[in-house]
A and B are shown apart, each in its own frame.
Chain A
């Protein structure tokens, strides 16, 4: 359970694409169980549950990979505050492959 430090609040859920489910025992939906106020916090928490999944989302310098998009409640965080984007109580973070491909 991801408790918001300020509100003592509710769950943060991370929805993963199928291709990353091999890192999470085929579970596409992870509920985080530690405090996280921002997208960066949530990804760090995800990394503690599934380091392999985090390595596919971010490189070892902590940069979100170029062709990966993160949405919080329907908004792409690239156009919000990036990893500093706040995650409200009960938020769902979607991890999606960008439109690019080959």
Chain B
């Protein structure tokens, strides 16, 4: 039965790929040795943030930091919409709590901390534990930003990050009392916007699963049909909500197609999450955290499989990034330059990133503090840093004129 289902899935995926219309061209950065843009690699660790800079060749990196010494940095964002560049860092001190910091000079200097701006209303009974995600709004709304936080909630800013308001539809959702913390806490970690329909957006949380709004965030419906909850009793493994979704990605040129890395399970949806199909075809494990969309190809996705929830390390002690180029019909290991012996690594949900160059740069950081990069879409890898604090977040950006 399982085999039949698997075969069906593969066929479905191929069919979907074949039928899919060619995506509209996306914004590509063409690298050249004479280019004067600065490529940024923002690395959040358990003990601060590091900013790495390179020219467009991305061969050599200069490391700056740590900024926010001793504080965990789980979320970073470099935003270049509108007429300015702005960098955000969500910092969290074990002693003094979470706060949001900004930089107007591409991460060279950062704002002094002020009063906490991302805060739950008093009558919610909740207090901010951590900011897990900072996301840009749509390109047409350069002052709009979103934060996904723990305990699971969504905040929105409409003034460039100066003030934040909680999304009431999620804050008061009828399922909310039943959402449960995963190993990292009850975190809302994924925010996906429909670039075409300003009323539609999707979020994911651990645990709670995927929720989608069709009315600008006023109301939310669970969208987890077909997604497994392995940790539930057998007859309850496909609930309406309560799944431990680890990450969801999509490509803006084909926004309705989503890819999902679950706490056991790899899935794709072609209808904005109404239905999910298993795409764990040829991976050593369908457990994992990190998932990254290719910047230009809506069929190409990267993951780093992890052996199991009870043994969170790369299978067979080999550090392998897996890539699909056919929307999950098959996956290939990318190993050149990565250790294939004795590598008991873990890559967390936001620690895998891509830049926007024509030959996409792919980057990831491990919990053991190693940072790797590829300038050829994952074909070959180079170790950029080998002894940073545990890495929890990797993001990219570019600065300067083309």
Q: Report the separation of the CA atoms of residues A55 and B116 in the bound assembly, to the nearest whole angstrom.
A: 6
Q: Report the separation of the CA atoms of residues A65 and B128 in the bound assembly, to the nearest whole angstrom.
A: 11
Q: Is there an interface contact between A61 and B113, defined as CB atoms closer than 8 Å? A: no
| Chain B residues within an 8 Å CB radius of A68 | 95-96
> Who on chain A is nearest to B127 by CB?
A59
Q: Which of B112, B115, B119 counts the most chain A CB atoms within 10 A?
A: B115
A:51-102 near B, CB below 8 Å: 51-52, 55-57, 59-61, 63, 65, 67-68, 97-98, 100-102
Q: Report the separation of the CA atoms of residues A56 and B47 in the bound assembly, to the nearest whole angstrom.
A: 18
| Chain B residues within an 8 Å CB radius of A100 | 94-95
Q: Is there an interface contact between B97 and A98, defined as CB atoms closer than 8 Å? A: no
Q: Report the separation of the CA atoms of residues A96 and B94 in the bound assembly, to the nearest whole angstrom.
A: 13
Q: Report the separation of the CA atoms of residues A68 and B96 in the bound assembly, to the nearest whole angstrom.
A: 7
> Who on chain A is nearest to B120 by CB?
A60
User: Could you tell me how many residues of chain B have their Cβ less than 8 Å away from some Cβ of chain A?
Assistant: 22
Residue B126 CB within 8 A of the other chain: yes
Given known pairs A59-B127, A61-B127, the reply for A22 and B113 (CB within 8 Å) is yes
Given known pairs A20-B96, A67-B94, the reply for A61 and B46 (CB within 8 Å) is no
Q: Is there an interface contact between B113 and A23, defined as CB atoms closer than 8 Å? A: yes
Q: Is there an interface contact between A22 and B112, defined as CB atoms closer than 8 Å? A: yes
Q: Report the separation of the CA atoms of residues A22 and B125 in the bound assembly, to the nearest whole angstrom.
A: 29
Which listed residue (A56, A63, A101, A102) contacts B127, Cβ 8 A? A63
Residue B387 CB within 8 A of the other chain: no
Q: Is there an interface contact between A60 and B127, defined as CB atoms closer than 8 Å? A: yes
Q: Report the separation of the CA atoms of residues A80 and B47 in the bound assembly, to the nearest whole angstrom.
A: 33
> Who on chain B is nearest to A54 by CB?
B115
Which listed residue (A23, A51, A61, A101) contacts B94, Cβ 8 A? A101
Residue B2 CB within 8 A of the other chain: no
Q: Is there an interface contact between B125 and A61, defined as CB atoms closer than 8 Å? A: yes
Q: Which of A56, A57, A63, A97 counts the most chain B CB atoms within 10 A?
A: A56
> Could you list which residues of chain B lie within 8 angstroms of chain A, going by C-beta atoms?
46-47, 70, 72, 93-97, 99, 112-116, 119-120, 122, 125-128
| Chain B residues within an 8 Å CB radius of A20 | 96
- Rounded to whole Å, the gap between the CB of B300 and the closest CB of chain A is 37
- Rounded to whole Å, the gap between the CB of B163 and the closest CB of chain A is 14
> Who on chain B is nearest to A59 by CB?
B127
Given known pairs A20-B96, A60-B119, the reply for A52 and B113 (CB within 8 Å) is yes
Which listed residue (A55, A59, A98) contacts B95, Cβ 8 A? A98
Q: Report the separation of the CA atoms of residues A24 and B352 in the bound assembly, to the nearest whole angstrom.
A: 38
User: Could you tell me how many residues of chain A have their Cβ less than 8 Å away from some Cβ of chain B?
Assistant: 21
- Rounded to whole Å, the gap between the CB of B369 and the closest CB of chain A is 14
Given contacts A57-B96, A102-B70, 13 further A-B contacts (CB under 8 A): A19-B93, A20-B96, A22-B112, A52-B113, A52-B114, A52-B115, A56-B113, A60-B119, A60-B120, A67-B94, A97-B95, A102-B46, A102-B94
Complex A-B: 14 CB contacts under 8 Å: A22-B112, A22-B113, A23-B113, A56-B96, A56-B99, A59-B128, A60-B127, A61-B120, A61-B127, A65-B97, A67-B95, A97-B96, A101-B95, A102-B94
- Rounded to whole Å, the gap between the CB of A91 and the closest CB of chain B is 23
Q: Is there an interface contact between A55 and B126, defined as CB atoms closer than 8 Å? A: no
Q: Is there an interface contact between A65 and B96, defined as CB atoms closer than 8 Å? A: yes
| Chain A residues within an 8 Å CB radius of B115 | 51-52, 55
| Chain B residues within an 8 Å CB radius of A22 | 112-113
Q: Report the separation of the CA atoms of residues A20 and B115 in the bound assembly, to the nearest whole angstrom.
A: 12
Q: Is there an interface contact between B122 and A60, defined as CB atoms closer than 8 Å? A: yes
Q: Is there an interface contact between A19 and B125, defined as CB atoms closer than 8 Å? A: no
Q: Is there an interface contact between A65 and B120, defined as CB atoms closer than 8 Å? A: no
Q: Report the separation of the CA atoms of residues A56 and B99 in the bound assembly, to the nearest whole angstrom.
A: 9
Q: Report the separation of the CA atoms of residues A57 and B95 in the bound assembly, to the nearest whole angstrom.
A: 8
Q: Is there an interface contact between B95 and A61, defined as CB atoms closer than 8 Å? A: no
Q: Report the separation of the CA atoms of residues A20 and B113 in the bound assembly, to the nearest whole angstrom.
A: 10
| Chain B residues within an 8 Å CB radius of A57 | 96
Q: Is there an interface contact between A61 and B96, defined as CB atoms closer than 8 Å? A: no
